[in-house]
Amino acid sequence: MTDRYAVIGNPIGHSKSPLIHGSFAAATGQDIAYSAIEGPLDGFADTVHAFRAAGGFGMNITAPFKLQAFDLATDRLERAELAGATNALKFEGSRIYADNFDGVGLVNDITRNLGVAMKGARVLLLGAGGAARGALLPFLAQAPAELVVANRTMATAAGLAGKFAAHGRVVASGYAELAGQRFDMVINATSASLKAELPPLPAEVLQGAGLAYELVYGKGLTPFLRLAQNAGVPRLADGVGMLVEQAAEAFVWWRGVRPDTRAVIDRMTIPLI
């Protein structure tokens, strides 16, 4: 019998998850069916339970349901617990297991696909929302020399830094306080690029960086990446690799088989122009 999986979000028509997981299944010989479900804003839990009752094995979670999925889970792995959000569920009997693969997917893209080491690096992470929370533990596991979290609201960044302090050197900062500092890599985890805007980042912060990474994908040269390009940053990347890599982690979790990601990333990559 074909095993059923799905991604749930609202809206969901833009999701690339069915394409990605369908490609993984074909490449690894896994007999699965993967669909996209637009969950009602006031009926997330009921929709998940209905999918389980119909034989579903697991779900990817996208906006705006990552917090509700966290609350629905009976068992949360450490990454999800620390992030306070989940992007993947697995159903086993009466248990609903939750994990968060966003951060590990990002790390895999940076270190494996782009070949940029995070160990010993000074890393600047812009934003303190859900994407940033999911990235912190996997980032710190790479042993950077320092991880600086910058946010418009300093108290939010400070709270996040305090929560993860036991896992490595993480420092909170406002944007203005970044002036005069230099970093090896700068990661934009804000939503500014979705509106073709820039976070209030001093432009000189990007000078000398080896990598500028934009979590938004498929938008070409966003204002953040253009700022990095103008600052002479030699490596620019958007979040398509992260998207595919986090999907691969969920696939392994569900199926016990690791798919190759390179062909899928190449298929989905849009030139940064």
- φ/ψ (deg, to 5) at 222: -70, 165
Given a contact cutoff of 8 angstroms between Cβ atoms, the answer to whether 209 and 231 are in contact is yes
Contact residues for 264 (Cβ-Cβ < 8 A; gap 6+): 20, 23, 24, 244
Show the tokens assigned to 183: 């970093």
- CA-to-CA distance for 69 and 82, rounded, in angstroms? 14
The burial of 269, by beta-carbon neighbours within 10 Å (0-12 exposed, 13-18 middle, 19 or more buried), is given as middle
Contact residues for 13 (Cβ-Cβ < 8 A; gap 6+): 36, 38
Show which residues are catalytic.
66
- CA-to-CA distance for 244 and 60, rounded, in angstroms? 12
User: Can you tell me whether residue 96 is helix, strand or coil?
Assistant: strand
